[in-house]
Structure 1
Amino acid sequence: MWKTLQVLCVVALLMASSVAFAVDYPYKKIDDFKTLESFKSIDEFEASYNKYIQHCRENTGGGTGGVPCLIGYEMWDGELNIYYSKLMKILGEKEKKLLKESQLAWIKERDATIAFNSRLLDKKYTEEGTMYVLMRAGDADRMMTPVVKQRALLLKEWLELVSKLEKHK
């Protein structure tokens, strides 16, 4: 009986704390943001989503509720997918095969980079607590966003080159 009462108290505390720490913030989906081609420059594109990140982090209490605010990596991953898809639509079969091989090799390297980065962050953030979860997630996003951004911009440059070559045929 005493054990059952203890378990019920723990469950009640967990439920109460999850309600107390719930974040009521209107998080945006990546699809809610304009894409890079909607902006005059990369800086304007990044400023648009960085403004959201800042507002989101300021209004989510500083704990795990702030993790979904960290969208830099996802924004550039979305751009990467856009340019990859556009390239695949206009390339010849041989070029498609080469691009796919290149992309798969890059994904393998990216995943290894993320794994190594994650290992380092695990060593850096040994403390528990929602504050550390957000800090770790912030470091991960800050460190890995340039990796996917660089690839997205390379795909964009390839798309521009192929499009230019197609016009001159």
Structure 2
Amino acid sequence: MKLSVAFLLCVLSFSSYAESENSIEKSLDECLAKRENQTTAGMNTCVGVATVAWDKELNVVYGNLMSALDAEGKNNLKKSQIAWLKHRDLEYKFISSVYATKVGTMYSNIRAMNVLTLTKNRALELKSYLSSSEL
């Protein structure tokens, strides 16, 4: 139970510092704050929903960025995204292998947060490029 509370506090502070104004983060915070989600399975569900939301955000931002770029930029972004997707898939496998041998259900929460962080960071990275291209 102590680990679950520690994980919850870690996730809440992580999401607060990163983007407290972001609706995905707010939804994650609200989901994790619900009593019924203060279990390993509940936390994993909340983080899974947030990961899917970040993936959708990533795709929206990617599309907007593609629209803002010239032909060369589009070509480079497409190549970069293909490489990132390969990296992401390999990173997922690596993350799973790291936590596969760990004893304790809490490691599934940590694994889920690592997956979320990969997707979120890429979405924010592309969002920063989009902001730069609109200046």
Q: Percent identity?
A: 28
* Correspondence 1:110-129 to 2 at 5 A: 110-125=88-103
CA 1:61/1:91 → structure 2, altered by over 3 Å: closer, same or farther?
closer
C-alpha contact (below 8 Å) 1:72/1:141 kept by paired residues: no
Q: In terms of mean alpha carbon deviation, does 147-156 or 71-80 score higher? A: 71-80
Structure 2 portions without partners, runs of 5+ = 1-17
Higher CA-based Rg: 1
TM-aligned CA deviation for residue 138 of structure 1: 1.4
Matched, 1:68 2:6: no
Structure 1 residue runs without a partner (length 5+): 1-40, 165-169
Which residue does 2:21 correspond to in 1?
Answer: 44
Q: Is the 8 A contact 1:87 1:159 kept in 2?
A: yes
Q: Does the CA contact (< 8 Å) of 1:110 and 1:147 recur in 2?
A: yes
The 5 Å alignment of 1:59-98 reads: 59-60=36-37, 62=39, 64=41, 67-70=44-47, 71-98=49-76
Larger helix percent: 2
Q: Given the alignment, which residue of 110, 116, 125 partners 1:145?
A: 116
Could you report, residue by residue, the CA deviation over 1:117-153 in whole angstroms, capped at 9, with x for unpaired residues?
101111114x7xxxx3xx3431122222222222111
Q: Distance in 1 between matches of 2:38 and 2:27?
A: 19
**What residue number does 1:157 align with?**
128
Length, aligned pairs only: 116
Where 2:39 maps in the other structure, the secondary structure is coil
Q: State the distance in 2 between where 1:161 and 1:88 align.
A: 13
Taking structure 2 as the reference length, what is the TM-score of the superposition? 0.71
Distance 1:60 1:162, change over 3 A: closer
**Whole-Å separation in 1 of the counterparts to 2:119 and 2:79:** 17
How many Å separate the matches in 1 of 2:119 and 2:29?
A: 20
